[in-house]
Each structure stands twice: as C-alpha cells, then as structure tokens.
C-alpha cells in the first residue's frame, strides 16, 4: 500500500483471526474475498457520489455484518452461555461525534444502532436491552437472536469449551477465539470516519464488553490526523487506548501513520502476547493494514481507485473500481 495525494480512500478489516488456509475450501476463501470486495464497493459508491466518510464506513460495515464469514452481525461469536451479545461503534472525524452500542441481542445491524446513537446526540454508548429498545424505537430492523448463529460459531464454541476442560485454551488459534470487522474512510472533502463491529470472542463471559464499542480503544477518527479501527483481544486495546494512541503518536509525537500503527501492533500490543491488527487511514495517502497474526481479512481502495483484497500474506489486485 503506497501513498498518494489526498483524495477519497477506503479500507476495511474483517478481523485478524483468519483461519489456517487448510481449514476452508478454496471456494470458501474466494467467497470471503468476494464479500470483502462487495463491502468495499458499497462504501466506495458513497464516496464517489460525493458522500460523507461517515456514511461510507457505515455502508462498508453493514455488508460485513450481513456476511456469515465475519464475527459481526450474522455469524457473530457465541458467549459461554451459547448466546449472542454484539457491540459496534462509529465516529465522525470532522466533529468527533460518536455513537456505540454494547451487548445488543436483537438489532439486525449493530452499526446502524451505533449510528442512531450518534445522530441522537443524547449519548455516546448505550448497552443491553435499552440499546436494543432504542434501535427498535429508531425504526431499525430487529431479529430473533438465532439469526446471528452459524454452524461455524457453534463448532468454535464447542472447541473452546473442550479446550477449557483439557487445559489447552492458550493454544487456541486466533480464528477460534476472536474476530471483528471495521472500516475507515476519507471523503472528497478530506473528512475522516471509522467504524467497528463485533460479536466479541467465542466462549466469552456473559456481559463482557471489549474494545470495539469503546471510542479511543477500538475506534477513533480525527480529521487532519487519522481514522483507526482495531481487531484483537479487546481487553488489551482498552488498557492501552490503542486507537487513540495511534492518533496521539501522530498529532503530538509527529510520527507517520505507518510508524504509529506499526508501533502499536508490533510493539505495544504484541508485548502483551496477543494477536492484533488494525486498518488505518491518514489525512492523505492510502490505508495501511498492519497485523501480527497468520492473516487478517482486509481490503482497501486507494486514491487511484484501485481495489486490493487479502486474507493472508498475499494480496489480490482487483483492478479499478468503476
């Protein structure tokens, strides 16, 4: 990912808990890449029409929430009780306005609930049944909790429960444990935005909230500096204020986007022994996607309008987006 002049740009991640290549068929890998491309096209359509970065990240995350390949919305992780509790946030870099929900169980698309909280101006974060009720009252689509369930998550929960019994939880793969989706965008006016959505981690305690709905931990955007969406073990991202730290390193420490994001992923976060990744975008240039795991679902469209999609180390060039 090189740098270019300021202009519209868009990036996403689908979580750093990418599966070992052997655990899915090539057809399944191809489908996951096609869903990443579909999400990018949705966000890019907003930007090329002159729309706001905030609308672009929402449109991007919405597609990822509807895909069973990612741990957000349909396909979300299961708690230790076999239930779903979903979190999401969204932030406008031009005003620092933000909205988030945590522990929702019935709103079909948590990112839309987070946006509704932002637009209300009454709160930044709503939780649990009250957040679901707010979403319902806002006219958002509601579903039964089993809408979010997929066989892959049922199998992952069973695997982690067995690991807990035989003492091998520490050897579980990132794919068994975690997963998150997120997006960053810069519009034609130079405004930045970020959004993150997740089902948390498989076999998580009921009521646990990670970094994804916490502004400054899993999500942050500030015009003129950067937009950040994180993925990995949320507790460490909260304790290190990871997303905000990227911004602070750039604004106060005068580090480049690459320096700041790589320091967080390969030093700060990795020093805690966790898999970590993020999608970041500066005031100019193209998105960056540092990660320290086997792979990270990711994709971006740079200022030249060309799309790239990846799951592991190799990157697939998808050509110019019309």
Residues acting as catalytic residues: 180
Helix (H, G, I), strand (E, B) or coil at 296: coil
- Angle, helix 110-120 to helix 128-137, in steps of 10 degrees: 80
**310 forms bridges with which residues in the sheet?**
298, 315
Q: What residues are paired with 288 via a beta bridge?
A: 280
Nearest to 18 by CA among 31, 29, 34, 30: 29
Helix and strand numbers (H, E) in the chain are 9, 12
Rg (CA), the chain: 18
Nearest to 95, CA basis, from 248, 218, 223, 250: 223
Taken as a whole, the chain contains a residue count of: 322
Measured distance CA(148)–CA(178) in Å, rounded: 16
Partners of residue 320 on adjacent β-strands? 306
β-strand 98-104 against 125-127: which pairing, if any?
parallel
Taking the CA of residue 185 as centre, how many other CA atoms within 13 Å lie in the half-sphere pointing to its CB? Answer: 33
Structure tokens at 276: 């970590």
Say which residues have a Cβ less than 8 Å from residue 173's Cβ, sequence separation at least 6. 17, 19, 20, 294
If we measure between CA atoms, which residue out of 3, 21, 1, 20 comes closest to residue 12?
Answer: 1
**How many C-beta atoms lie closer than 10 Å to residue 150's C-beta?**
15
């Amino acid at each position: 990912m090189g740098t270019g002049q300021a202009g519209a740009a868009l990036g996403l991640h689908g979580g750093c808990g990418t599966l070992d290549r052997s655990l899915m068929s090539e057809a399944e890998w191809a489908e996951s890449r096609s869903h990443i491309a579909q999400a990018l096209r949705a966000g890019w359509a907003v930007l090329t029409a002159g729309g706001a970065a905030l609308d672009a990240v929402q449109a991007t995350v919405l597609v990822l929430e509807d895909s069973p390949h990612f741990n957000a919305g349909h396909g979300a992780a299961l708690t230790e009780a076999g239930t779903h509790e979903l979190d999401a946030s969204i932030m406008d870099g031009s005003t620092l306005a933000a909205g988030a929900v945590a522990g929702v169980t019935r709103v079909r698309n948590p990112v839309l609930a987070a946006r509704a909280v932002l637009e209300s101006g009454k709160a930044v974060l709503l939780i649990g049944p009250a957040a679901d009720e707010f979403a319902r009252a806002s006219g958002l689509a509601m579903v039964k909790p089993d809408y979010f369930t997929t066989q892959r998550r049922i199998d992952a929960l069973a695997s982690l429960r067995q690991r807990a019994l035989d003492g091998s939880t520490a050897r579980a793969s990132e794919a068994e444990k975690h997963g998150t989706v997120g997006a960053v965008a810069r519009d034609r006016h130079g405004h930045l935005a970020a959004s993150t959505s997740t089902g948390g981690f498989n076999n998580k305690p009921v009521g646990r909230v990670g970094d994804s709905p916490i502004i400054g931990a899993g999500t942050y955007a500030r015009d003129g500096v950067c937009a950040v969406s994180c993925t990995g073990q949320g507790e460490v991202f909260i304790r290190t204020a990871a997303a905000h730290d990227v911004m602070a390193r750039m604004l106060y420490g005068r580090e480049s986007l690459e320096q700041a994001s790589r320091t967080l992923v390969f030093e700060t976060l990795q020093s805690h022994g966790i898999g970590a990744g993020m999608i970041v975008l500066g005031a100019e240039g193209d998105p960056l996607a540092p990660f320290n795991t086997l792979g990270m679902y990711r994709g971006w469209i740079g200022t030249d309008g060309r799309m790239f999609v990846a799951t592991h180390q190799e990157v697939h060039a998808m050509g110019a987006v019309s």
